[in-house]
Structure 1
Amino acid sequence: MRTSRALAPSIALLLSATVLAGCSGSDSGGSSGKSGSPSGSTSASPYLPVPDGVTLTPQGTHLEVGDAAVVAYEPRQDEVGALDLTVTKLEKTTTKKTLSAWQLTDAQKASTPYFVHVSVKNVGESDLGGRRVPLYVVNEDNLLLESTPFASSFKACPSTALPKPFAAGATADVCLVYLAPDHGTLEAVSFRPDEDFNPITWTGEIEKYVPPKPKKKPKKKG
């Protein structure tokens, strides 16, 4: 799979985005309806070994925001992770509105930030603590964009790795930041662990990010 660096990082810990060439049109969110079967359907043979009782969502399944998929991948050699993933919300914002406090390059300032909210449950046997949720977004050029690490102090969308530990049965609600180069668009969210995998994708309404209103301080009595 061809890789290239789309946005040069100005702060190594905070901002980096890698794009991977989408090798087929199946990543595009433009298809109508769902193909394959939603989470919970029977797959003839799992593409990776998973615990008994775990049914993987078939490759090529197209889902909508709010739908769940059970996926497996190899975070490292000889280790298999299995996750139940539900993309719960897609949000669009601007660098000026939400990233003005961060030091950005000109290329990063010209990107469009998207926030992808995901509910995650570990349904495998491997502890996945400290690893990033294995989801990409697909842009208008059919490229896969990696999530950009931020920090827990970025309240709008921390975009951090899974908490430690994150063993079997652990759950978390995470928000991931994706920077689409050249004011690009988010066409779909994609699970595609390697180039031979027929991706599982989510599409749906992309909402405008609205910062939460600050909580009012209680009035002092007397």
Structure 2
Amino acid sequence: MARSNIGGFFAFCAKAVCACLLGAVLVVGGTNAYVVTSATPSITSAEQARLRGTCDAVVVLGASVFTDGTPSDILRDRLETAAGLYASGIAPTIIVSGDGSTVYNNEPETMKNYLVNLGVPESAIVRDDAGLSTYESMYRARYVYGVQSVAVVTQNYHLPRAIASARLLGCDVVGVPADRGSYENQMSYEIREIPARTKDLVQAALHMDPSRL
């Protein structure tokens, strides 16, 4: 009898675990489908973005920088795309948002310097040193810097998450892809987006303040 009870308990636990795993897969799959399908119509080329009219700011999402103070390939492409948008007159301001918590590998500082070298006036660049994640960057653009309309610049794989977050936070948003070639570790970036889309969607839907997380 005791063995029967133990066997039944383990069978129940196995079913419960399977149910939880199935639920997690459905939640992650459903939120990813929503983020991608809802955001895709707002992804546009730089030329088409200009035709849509002006916005309050261009937001460039941070990425890794090298120890010599130069941007990685993925970040360089974002910055060059943003500089082109600024030159076209799409927005009066570029917000460079990333991790500015350290002296070395300071993303916003590197981003600002690179943009200045591309001819963007320093006065037109806003450094957001607390954009430690995509959601934090979009939240701070909306509620710290008061942006209501925005052109977000990052790579195609990353845009749906940023667009969905910005829209749920109340921004009129377009996304401009910065893909100018292939990147190392592209597959890992794609995989990382799967849980990140779910996380950011929940945070944006609840308007969570990142400083309190």
Structure 2 length-normalised TM: 0.26
Question: Which of the two has greater helix per residue?
Answer: 2
Structure 1 length-normalised TM: 0.25
